[in-house]
Structure 1
Amino acid sequence: MVHRRYLDRRVTGTPAHVAGVIAHLRNNARLVYSSKPEWAPEGVTVVVRILDRPRPTVATLARRRRRWPVVAGVATAVTAGGMGVYALIRLVDALIDALPAILAVLAVLALVATLSGSARSRVVCVTMHGPGCRHH
């Protein structure tokens, strides 16, 4: 058998304040009873009976507090990954657009390298190295 403990509390304030407190208790499933409102010099007074719940333990609070950094870390990782993929797509698009210019520069460099290499080696030894050969 579960023994429930109830607390009786007096709520005093403006009609909007008292209605907000009662709505909050009702939404949290703690409101058991509320009396009829009575006018007082301070505003409206209502007696409420609420279900007394034990306060959360330190372990429960720690577990609740640790959730938001995990959510923030996952959100950051997903955002960074998306930005990385976007940057990679933009880089590939830029390389594809510049591909003809890159190939033209490489062709000119290959032509210059071929021409400069053939100017150095004008003497070709077919069989044996002769007296004017610089290859030894």
Structure 2
Amino acid sequence: MSKKARKRSLADNEARCVTCSIRVSPRKLNDVAASIRGMKVDKALAELTFSRRRIAGTIKKTLESAIANAENNHDLDINQLIVAEAHVGKNLVMKRWTPRARGRVGHIHKFFSQLTIVVREVKEAA
């Protein structure tokens, strides 16, 4: 006896990839993710390749994984893919402290983020 298969949450022309525990704040990650939303995947990869932000490499890896999922798992044409969604969520926060004057303490928060990229196959109108 096994559990019944769960219905697929995405449409048939979509694929996604999720990366958890990225060591960057969600605000910084969302700046780069916003720059690729709605782009064709080849332009988005070029944008991330030449971006000067440190986190662009991690976003590029996630996007490449979403493209591979679309091609291998869902038989989608990679030349027709666009970045349909790129949303960022909060993850855990490591709380550290540093000593300050007069016996006080300075709080340091180290934020982690979660990135979800959904790619969608769009048929060109002939």
TM-score scaled by structure 2? 0.25
Greater fraction strand:
2
TM-score scaled by structure 1? 0.24
Greater fraction helix:
1
Structure with the bigger RCO (C-alpha within 8 Å, sep 6+) is: 2
